[in-house]
């Protein structure tokens, strides 16, 4: 197999930092797609910048074969020479342009395109250069099912070496046969798991390996404790033996007693225990050295420390209703929502999913049932952030400590709550809002594209928490089918036809067979 990307003994720390991001990292990538995943801050972007030679390693070498192109998450416009490559006259680029559903008019006016169309244009500009190495940073983030399908289809034809930085399991499973998973400890270089499996299977394998390491670490710790306990008992027995073999307190004329003690000393009874204890302590030191050389694979606690008194809304309904946005009309039938139901709201971008969520939210608030509602929006406005800040300020010191603990359990470093100079990321705001709302006893959870700003570690933690707790109702808007399928059993599907949209209801498994209510 051809070698396209080669890292040999690479170490790197950002200027002014004494903490290495990578230490002695060696890696070779061949043709085909590899997923690069891991928690935020684990070094994914740094690795991408090293491979593209935007950064120079402190030690080691980075080599690539042929041209390297990088598609970042945010795309604004074409580069000066993109037109030259797009219109090189080759049949291959013509087919690519058609495959991505792009026209000459769309290419000429990128500022007029939708987000999904811009991502397709970005992909056209990158692949029309016929690179040997292509790096894609979250190529499907924020895209609806139609755009995702178009881009996945076009990427599947790429024949060079592709590295996809992603938290999206559909991307990692459809395209990739290998996964690089980065994990960063506190003030330590990132660890790399190199798994020859698609993303979802690789994440399970990483968890299995971590559990195995944890078992070995805990087993060795237990052996050390047992050996120290044995050594302690031997020390006590040795002290008792010393007392027995001591001639102090024996009458100097009691020659018989003195002879027995001398006989015991000659047989080495006083030395055998000390010798065995020395052997045990030597074994303990060897095990401690082995333990010190291992990384402590402690398990991150998950779940929320909820101490709030909860109130429950057993059920509610909405509709029938016609929702309007400009010339667009969304027809919504009567919807009955029972406590504990898990609902996936799906449809293409612009079909009215957020409009429906806002309408349900508004009706619950106007009817005085807002105390039951948790609403996690796609993006937070300055007003939203100020409201979250006020909610935190109203907490006692002990309650704030519990929130810090909960943030850690949701996969975040909660340091931003302790430092007013650090602004929380969009993902951290979602987690904080979720924690505060659950503490307030809200049991109707409405989340609009929650995975857009969450890393794969946090997404899986959210899945486990939401699937293990059954005392709430969930309405979830997302294009992440893996996330939806793990949590939901009912689907509200919006189909748009021109300026009209219709919502239908089905079981979640009936993805293509929706029956209108």
Residue 100's CB is within 10 A of a number of other CB atoms, namely: 21
Compare 81 and 413 and report the one with higher pLDDT. 81
Q: What is the pLDDT of residue 245?
A: 58
Q: Flag the least confident range among 29-33, 410-414, 455-459.
A: 410-414
Mean pLDDT, the chain, integer: 87
Assess whether pLDDT exceeds 80 at residue 384. yes
Answer yes or no: are the C-beta atoms of 359 and 331 closer than 8 Å: no
Q: For residue 468, is pLDDT > 70?
A: yes
Mean pLDDT for 448-455 is 90
What band does 510 get if pLDDT is binned at 50, 70 and 90? very low
Per-residue confidence (pLDDT) for residue 512, from 0 to 100: 40
Integer Cα distance of 134 and 161 in angstroms: 6
Backbone angles phi and psi of 261, in degrees to 5 = -65, -45
Question: Domain 315-507 is of which CATH architecture?
Answer: 3-Layer(aba) Sandwich (3.40)
Helix (H) or strand (E) holding 335: strand 335-338
Q: Which residue, among 68, 23, 33, 74, has the nearest Cα to 49 in the 3D structure?
A: 68
**Quick one: three-class SS letters along 173-190?**
HHHEEEEEEEEECCCCCE
- Cβ atoms of 5 and 133 closer than 8 Å: yes
**Is the Cα dihedral 373, 378, 383, 387 positive or negative?**
positive
Cα–Cα distance measured from residue 268 to residue 32, given in angstroms and rounded to the nearest whole number: 70
**How far is 211 from 404, CA to CA, in rounded Å?**
25
List the structure tokens of 100. Answer: 């991505």
pLDDT digits (tens, 9 = 90+) for 424-433: 888 889 999 9
Q: Which residues pair with 10 in a beta bridge?
A: 25
What is the average pLDDT across 124-133?
95
Domains of the chain, by residue range, sit at: 3-197, 211-293, 315-507
What confidence score (pLDDT) does residue 188 get?
A: 84
pLDDT band at 516 (very low <50, low <70, confident <90, very high): very low
The residue count for the chain: 517
For residue 473, the model assigns a pLDDT of: 92
Return the C-alpha torsion angle 466, 469, 471, 474, nearest 10: 10
| Paired strand residues for 490 | 343, 507
Assign 299 a pLDDT band (cuts: 50, 70, 90).
Answer: low
CATH of 3-197, one of 3.50.50.60, 2.60.410.10, 3.40.350.10, 3.40.50.300: 3.40.50.300
pLDDT at 206: 93
Residue 17 confidence class, pLDDT cut points 50, 70, 90: confident
Residue 488, burial from CB neighbour count under 10 angstroms (0-12, 13-18, 19+): buried
Nearest to 160 by CA among 6, 5, 26, 54: 5
Per DSSP, the three-state class of 471 is coil
Contact 436, 376 (CB under 8 A): no
pLDDT digits (tens, 9 = 90+) for 62-109: 999 999 999 998 887 888 899 999 999 899 999 999 999 999 999 999
What are the strands of the beta sheet with 161-165, ordered from one edge? 68-71, 133-137, 161-165, 32-38, 176-184, 190-195
Integer Cα distance of 248 and 12 in angstroms: 67
The secondary structure element, H or E, covering residue 27 is strand 22-30
Q: pLDDT tens digits, residue range 308-339? A: 556 677 789 999 999 999 999 999 999 999 98
pLDDT digits (tens, 9 = 90+) for 140-176: 988 888 999 999 999 999 999 999 999 999 999 999 9
What would the pLDDT profile of 24-48 be if each residue is shown by its tens digit? 999 999 999 999 999 888 999 999 9
Same CATH fold, 315-507 and 3-197?
yes
Contact 344, 480 (CB under 8 A): no
């Amino acid at each position: 197999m051809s070698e396209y990307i080669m890292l040999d003994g690479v170490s790197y720390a950002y200027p002014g930092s004494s903490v290495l991001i990578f230490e002695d990292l060696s890696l070779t990538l061949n043709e085909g797609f590899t997923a690069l995943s891991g928690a935020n801050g684990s070094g994914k972007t740094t690795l991408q910048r090293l491979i593209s030679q935007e950064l120079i390693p402190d030690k080691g070498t980075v080599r690539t074969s042929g041209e390297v192109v990088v598609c970042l998450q945010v795309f604004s416009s074409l580069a000066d020479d993109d037109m030259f490559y797009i219109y090189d006259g080759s049949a291959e680029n013509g087919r690519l342009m058609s495959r991505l559903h792009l026209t000459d008019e769309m290419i000429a006016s990128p500022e007029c395109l939708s987000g999904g169309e811009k991502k397709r244009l970005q992909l056209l500009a990158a692949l029309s250069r016929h690179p040997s190495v292509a790096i894609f940073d979250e190529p499907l983030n924020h895209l609806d099912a139609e755009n995702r399908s178009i881009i996945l289809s076009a990427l599947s034809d790429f024949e060079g070496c592709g590295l996809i930085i992603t938290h999206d399991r559909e991307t990692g499973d459809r395209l990739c046969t290998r996964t690089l998973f980065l994990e960063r400890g506190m003030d330590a270089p990132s660890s790399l798991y190199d798994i020859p499996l698609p993303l979802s299977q690789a994440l399970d394998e990483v968890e299995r390996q971590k559990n195995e390491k944890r078992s070995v670490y805990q087993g060795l710790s237990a052996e050390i404790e047992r050996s120290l306990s044995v050594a302690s008992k031997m020390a006590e027995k040795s002290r008792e033996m010393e007392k027995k073999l001591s001639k102090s307190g024996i009458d100097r004329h009691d020659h018989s007693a003195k002879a027995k003690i001398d006989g015991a000393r000659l047989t080495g009874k006083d030395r055998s225990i000390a010798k065995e204890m020395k052997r045990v302590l030597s074994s303990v030191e060897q095990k401690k050295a082995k333990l010190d050389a291992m990384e402590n694979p402690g398990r991150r606690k998950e779940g929320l420390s909820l101490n709030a008194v909860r109130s429950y809304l057993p059920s509610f309904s909405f509709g029938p209703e016609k929702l309007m946005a400009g010339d667009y009309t969304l027809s919504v039938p009567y919807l009955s929502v029972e406590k504990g139901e898990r609902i996936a709201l799906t449809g293409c971008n612009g079909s009215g999913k957020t409009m429906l969520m806002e309408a349900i939210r508004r009706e619950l608030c106007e009817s005085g049932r807002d105390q039951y509602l948790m609403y996690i929006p796609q993006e937070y406005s300055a007003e939203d952030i100020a409201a979250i800040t006020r909610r935190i300020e109203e907490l006692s010191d002990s309650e704030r400590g519990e929130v810090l603990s909960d943030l850690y359990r949701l996969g975040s470093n909660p340091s931003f709550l302790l430092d007013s100079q650090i602004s929380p990321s969009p993902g951290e705001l979602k987690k904080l809002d979720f924690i505060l709302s659950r503490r307030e006893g809200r049991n109707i959870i409405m989340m609009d594209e929650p995975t857009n700003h969450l890393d794969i570690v946090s997404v899986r933690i959210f899945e486990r928490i939401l699937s293990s707790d059954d005392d709430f109702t969930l309405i979830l808007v997302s294009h992440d089918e893996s996330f939806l399928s793990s949590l939901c059993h009912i689907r509200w599907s919006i189909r748009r036809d021109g300026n009209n949209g219709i919502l239908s209801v089905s079981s979640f498994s009936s993805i293509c067979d929706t029956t209108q209510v």
